[in-house]
Chains A and B, each alone.
Chain A
Amino acid sequence: MEYFKSGLKSVLGAPQPGQQPSGADTVERLIQRVQTSTLLEDRRDACRALKALSKTYRLEVGAHGMDTLCYELVQDRNDSETIGYTLDALCNVLSPETFEEEEERGTDSVGGQFTEIFIKQSQNVTLVLEMLEEFEFHVRWPAVKLLSSMLAHRAREVQELVLTSPMGVSKLMDLLSDSREVIRNDALLLLISLTKGNANIQKIVAFENAFDRLFEVIASEGGLDGGIVVEDCLLLMYNLLRANPSNQNFFKEGSFIQKLTPMLQPGSEDGWAAQRAANCHALLQVLRTLVAPANPAQATSACQQIMRGSGLLGSLSDSLMASGVPADVLTETVCAVAEVMRGCGENQTFFSQVMAPSNPPRPALVVLLMSMVNEKQPLALRCAVLYCFQCFLHRNQDGQAQLAQTLLPATTEQVSGVTSGTLLCGGLFSPDTLTNWFSCVALSHSLVDNPGTKEQLLRVQLAPAEGHPGVHLLPQCLALLQQAQRPQTRLGLLQLLAQWLAHCSAAVGHLLSTPNAVAHLTAVVCDVSEEELVRGLSAFVLGLCVAFNDDAVVSFGRLALVQLINKRIGTEAFLDRVADVTRHEAYAKAAKHPQPTAATVADLLLDHEFCRLLKALENVVARAVAPKPEEVVEQVGSAQYKVLIRQQDEQLAQLSRQLSQVTVERDHLAAQVSQLAAQVAQLRDQNSVLKAAADEGGLQARVAELQQQVAKAAADQEDLLELMDDQEAKLTKYRNRLKQLGEKVEDDDEVEDEVAALTAQVVIN
């Protein structure tokens, strides 16, 4: 507010003496006129003039005229022309733009500050929303623009105000059906900013049939070949679906996924117009929201099934292999394929069978990997391919095994040519360090949670050059690790090793029996001149050698290694090195999302799956390397106790459950018993009455019948009593067991007394 005052002073406070009235004076007089004139025509003229001045004298109109203009929206709401001028003037005052003719330029937040003032009265927003219902173009259109301006400045507050004003969102939705394109298109933009980050609005918009409307608009504009309106529609769809499981479910249940498929068909032959690329990019982002790794697994898997079934995955695969696809669209397509198959067996199998139209024909996966290990390809594309490959292997034991197979002697005959396995192993030796990193990480994903492939890859032999004797893959990696200078290559290799060693004693044995391996790792951890991450990962790898050590290599048994670490590095220092990794910003970034992304080559350091491994095993390693003195002996003992305690816990829970069940049953029986007691008493009464009566007449038969009933009731009662005894016995047993287990048991004595009393009563009867 201070700003306005000083701004005004500079305009009003320095009048040129004796000259014609300044603009500010004119604005002042116009405002007066709107306030005081009794004639509609006068007010209308004044509003028209204010509108005309509202760019040049934006500050004055806003600072002095805001209240008047708002009041005018109420006062003359039936005169659409006046309302139109008023809204236009407000539009200029609140606009996020700076106008050329504006006198007092300087700060660009003028519109923001006026917006703040405007929305402070929440009924102002409601008023503007009501103006949307006015069909007149010169009312509806500025109302849309005014809302857009407010959202541009104060999204959060305006969203809440729209939500709380009755049917606010619904009114906006109706605009999408406006036949005047300008309004429809501006309404689209308005809805895009209105829905951003507000799940409640997103859901209402979806409820109001937004998806139907948007697909209609897209179709009428020519699908992906259409103009920027198509892109806007897709952006709005993206907003509605992103991180909104409820809307995603609605989209799936409404069979809208099936409507995406035909849109992906190849467009007009004359290549890729820039707008088509943008539209396609937006479409791919829409479909990725439905299968994002962060979504609930069940929801993602349902969408993945539909995407295969409806042919969407097929269309995506086709467009991957099509020629002339712009790089950013191709990259996004690779990511889309990745997520459509991530963790979904059928889709992974489907994609593994897609062939590229190359000569000779090769699997699409192999062709993709060829771009990944090709340093001439754009970085974003190479990252996307790594992601795609990772998603292909995610929870895909068959895919992992097949990759390992391509490297084993039986199948690596010359005829088979290039395979994903040979490409990746080749990549280990590339002079391009990023290629090394990509290849290591990709290979490491064939080992994730798969004991089989860990064993298989131990048997793989590589021939570094023609005629050389083969070297096993694991020692080869260690050799590369010792030769490599650049951190990226070394980090790649260390992550590959870590995945391999985790839960695999055989791999640990191979590493420990490779000459110099332990010495090298130890030296790196100790070397203060080394990169923090390299040291940390080396320490982690060494730690895995302790944790998964089965004492098969005599010189580096578990205890020997622990002592070595303690002596050479110091246990504390060693664990600090590992912890350094989890504190590194690269770790935070990679751990957040499975998709590897990088602005520059140097950004690629850690792999998401590796971060998960580190997190899962950090404590295991710590415990293995730094057992408390007594723990060494007692480790087994305490583990046994833990099992025992867990068993007892379970027993306890089960007994408590049984106890409460039995208590319920007993209460029920007690109720029945008292009911029967009452019945017996009643019958007895009847019986004595009848007995008395029987003397008088032939009621013997009736008496006999009743006596039978009594006998039966008594028998029933007997049974119930037995049952109750039974339950009591059980109860006591459970209670004792619970007591034995150390659980405090509330004594149910009161209830028991009651039951006893009841029982006694019944027996007496």
Chain B
Amino acid sequence: MSYAYLFKYIIIGDTGVGKSCLLLQFTDKRFQPVHDLTIGVEFGARMITIDGKQIKLQIWDTAGQEAFRSITRSYYRGAAGALLVYDITRRDTFNHLTTWLEDARQHSNSNMVIMLIGNKSDLEGRREVKREEGEAFAREHGLIFMETSAKTAANVEEAFINTAKEVYEKIQEGVFDINNEANGIKIGPQHSPTNPSLPSGGQGGMQGGGCC
């Protein structure tokens, strides 16, 4: 299956907020009611369409447990998008957002698109974080915001797709250097760049010697 672009995403946030469930709902359209603690990192992928173009999303679902923090940090650098998830029924997961955001900003490339997600919107009765609070946090830190439910699938597609739209727009605006793989973006095999003067990328050596 050929694609126009490939985007790499990471999903981050406290343990138990529903990161793995969001990914599973997005890739397999299933919900997993039992907490299956993620060990390290798990991979998932799906194709979406934006603006008539096939876009492949490669998603790394990270472990929220503190013990895995140093491992999961290795994934920030190469990602084009990040879903930062909290649980609307657990205020502590919302309170930790600042730490997560600092961590992400410190280790990622500056153009990474971050989508803030308040998950478990189906549990309205147990809500501890108001929707407005999520919105305000997102506004303050320049993030996109959505409330989702990995259980009912509400807004799950939208969360992944809207993040991709944002990345796509940044590409159109020329913000992202699509020839630098460290940005988490690849051009599809059959879609060599429209600009014929761009190098094809097969040339080694450029990256290695850059720093000197």
Contact = CB atoms under 8 A, between A and B. Distances in A.
A174 B71 CA distance: 18
A246 B41 CA distance: 8
B212 A135 contact: yes
B187 interface: no
Given A200-B71, A246-B42, A255 B208 contact: no
Interface string B47-69: 00000000010101000000000
B77 A177 contact: no
Contact of A178 (B42, B43, B181, B208): B208
Nearest to A166: B73
Interface stretch (A21-29, A201-209, A459-467, A498-506): A201-209
Contacts of A212: 181
A246 B70 CA distance: 19
3 shortest A-B CB distances, which residue pairs? A179-B205, A253-B45, A135-B212
B204 A179 contact: yes
B43 A177 contact: no
Given A169-B74, A170-B77, A203 B212 contact: no
A14 B56 CA distance: 71
Contacts of B45: 249-250, 253
Q: At the interface, is chain A mostly helix, strand, loop or mixed?
A: helix
A76 to B, nearest CB: 19
A220 to B, nearest CB: 8
A246 B71 CA distance: 15
Contacts of B71: 163, 200, 204
A207 to B, nearest CB: 6
Interface in A203-226: 203-204, 207-209, 212, 216, 220
A131 B147 CA distance: 45
Dominant SS at the B interface?
A: mixed
Contact of B70 (A163, A208, A220): A163
B40 A179 contact: no
B198 interface: no
5 contacts: A169-B74, A177-B204, A207-B41, A249-B45, A250-B58
A255 B56 CA distance: 11
Nearest to A206: B43
Contacts of A167: 73-74, 77, 107
B207 interface: yes
A199 interface: yes
Given A177-B208, A216-B202, A246 B77 contact: no
Given A163-B70, A204-B71, A207-B8, 16 more contacts: A167-B73, A169-B74, A170-B78, A177-B205, A177-B206, A177-B208, A178-B204, A178-B205, A179-B204, A203-B40, A204-B75, A207-B60, A208-B78, A246-B43, A253-B45, A255-B1
A699 B195 CA distance: 78
A254 interface: yes
A168 B209 CA distance: 19
Contacts of B193: none
Interface string B174-212: 000000010000000100000000000010111111011
B74 to A, nearest CB: 5
Contacts of B58: 250, 253-254
Interface in B4-61: 8, 40-45, 56, 58, 60
A174 B41 contact: no
Given A247-B43, A254-B58, A174 B75 contact: no
A353 interface: no
A164 interface: yes
Contacts of A170: 74, 77-78
B60 A209 contact: no
Contacts of A103: none
Contacts of A743: none
Nearest to A169: B74
A101 interface: no
B43 A174 contact: no
A135 B211 contact: yes
Interface string A218-248: 0010000000000000000000000000110
Contacts of B43: 203, 246-247, 249-250, 253
Contacts of A174: 207-208
Nearest to B63: A200
A133 B211 contact: yes
Interface in A658-698: none
A204 B208 CA distance: 19
Contacts of A175: 208
B129 to A, nearest CB: 23
Contact of B41 (A166, A168, A200): A200
Contact of B40 (A136, A200, A209, A220): A200
B74 A199 contact: no
Q: Which of B45, B60, B181, B208 has the most CB of A within 10 A?
A: B208
Interface in A458-497: none
A163 B67 CA distance: 12
Interface string A174-193: 11011100000000000000
A246 B58 CA distance: 12
A249 B209 CA distance: 32
A243 to B, nearest CB: 14
Contacts of B40: 199-200, 203
Contacts of B41: 200, 203-204, 207, 246
Contacts of B8: 207
A200 B60 CA distance: 12
A249 B181 CA distance: 20
B207 A177 contact: yes
Contact of A249 (B44, B75, B205, B206): B44
Contacts of B78: 170, 207-209
B27 to A, nearest CB: 10
A470 B185 CA distance: 71
A483 to B, nearest CB: 56
Given A207-B60, A253-B58, A179 B75 contact: no
